[in-house]
């Protein structure tokens, strides 16, 4: 009887390269969710942000007390500093938060808020309770 590892390798080898990429993305997402300290809440809102001297406009996919996931197909690097400006549903106040890119996938970037950059932490916490 083949081991679990042998069976997994056999099944993965039968997949197309595109299917393998999709599987890797799903596994990475699943593993990253298990490592999270704070529960993420789904939210779609426009975010303006700057990193490495360039400005961008994309969409936040989800948010937690400690960070956000931004949908983007642009290329970024883990560890880059980032400044975010966005509003959350049910709150007209714009939030300006500093952070750093902690995860890069083909679907977007994970950003962890810098603790010293959380001038608007109370606003984030109150809005998250409403979502």
Question: Taking residues 79-95, what's their average pLDDT?
Answer: 84
Which fold would CATH assign to domain 38-130?
Thrombin, subunit H (2.40.10)
In tens, the pLDDT along 10-25 reads: 998 999 999 988 888 8
Q: What residue segments make up the domains of the chain, in order of their start?
A: 4-34, 38-130
What DSSP line would sit under 3-66, residue for residue?
Answer: -HHHHHHHHHHTS-HHHHHHHHHHHHHHHHHHH-SS--EEEEEEEEEEETTEEEEEEEEEE-SS
Contacts of 72 (CB under 8 A, 6+ apart): 56, 58, 108, 109
Torsions phi, psi for 58 (to 5 deg) = -140, -160
List 60's β-bridge partners, or say none. 45, 70
Res. 35 pLDDT band, cuts 50 70 90: low
Instruction: Answer yes or no: is pLDDT of 81 > 60.
Output: yes
């Amino acid at each position: 009887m083949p081991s679990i590892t042998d069976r997994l390798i056999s099944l993965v080898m039968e997949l197309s390269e595109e299917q393998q990429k999709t599987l890797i993305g799903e596994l990475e997402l699943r593993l990253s969710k298990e490592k999270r300290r704070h529960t993420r809440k789904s939210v779609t809102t426009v975010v303006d942000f700057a990193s490495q001297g360039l400005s961008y406009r994309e969409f936040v996919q989800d948010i937690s007390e400690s960070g956000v996931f931004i949908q983007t197909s642009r290329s970024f690097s883990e560890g880059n500093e980032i400044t975010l400006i966005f509003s959350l549903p049910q709150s007209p106040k714009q939030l300006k938060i500093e952070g750093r890119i902690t995860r890069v996938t083909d679907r977007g970037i994970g950003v962890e808020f810098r603790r010293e950059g959380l001038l608007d932490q109370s606003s984030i916490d109150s809005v998250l309770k409403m979502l």
